[in-house]
Amino acid sequence: MRKVAIALPMALALLMALSAVTFAAPNEFMIGLNSGYPYTLLELEFEYKNGPWAGGADVAWAGNAMEIGAFGRYYVPLGLGFEFYAALNPTMVIIFSEVPPGLRGTIKAGPGFDFRWKHLRVGLEGGILYVFGHAAPNFYVKGGVGVLF
């Protein structure tokens, strides 16, 4: 009885793991590095794309601040691996140069352009930037590369 009690959960866990692998299509996930203007020096991005919809999370380092956020995108295929998308990215910025460290909310929204080929993704995005409670440029531009898996 004890062996059955151990084997049954193990078999169910194995079955669930294998079924999840078979349902995942290749190149639905992406890890990318971006850089841009006005304040993002380096951004690490994780994206899950399912059909035209995509969502993910990003963490950015901006010198004396750190940005943590989530994003949503809607893709329109243009052919030959090129895609146009609309993005919405609400984030929270932690500013370390203030005492105590300050928090600011931001919203970035705008169009982007993607090229995907095999396991490579190259992207360029820009649009409106609004930082709550802080004087900053009202636009942003970022570009980057990523690995699809």
* Tens-place pLDDT, residues 41-57: 899 999 999 999 999 99
1 or 34: which carries more pLDDT confidence?
Answer: 34
Q: How confident is the model at residue 110 (pLDDT cuts 50, 70, 90)?
A: very high
Distance of CA 64 to the CA centre of its chain: 22
Q: What is the DSSP letter of 99?
A: S
128 in a structural domain: yes
89 in a structural domain: yes
1 in a structural domain: no
pLDDT at 109: 97
Total domains in the fold of the chain? 1
17 in a structural domain: no
Cα separation, 46 vs 55, whole angstroms: 8
Q: Cβ distance 141 to 36 under 8 Å?
A: yes
19 in a structural domain: no
Task: Please enumerate in sequence order all residues whose Cβ is within 8 A of that of 31, keeping only pairs 6 or more positions apart, or say none.
Answer: 44, 45, 46, 47, 146, 147, 149
CATH of the domain at 125: 2.40.160.20
- Write out the residue range of the structural domain in which residue 51 sits: 26-148
- Is-above-0.85 flag for pTM? no
121 in a structural domain: yes
Tokens of 17: 């793991």
pLDDT at 24: 55
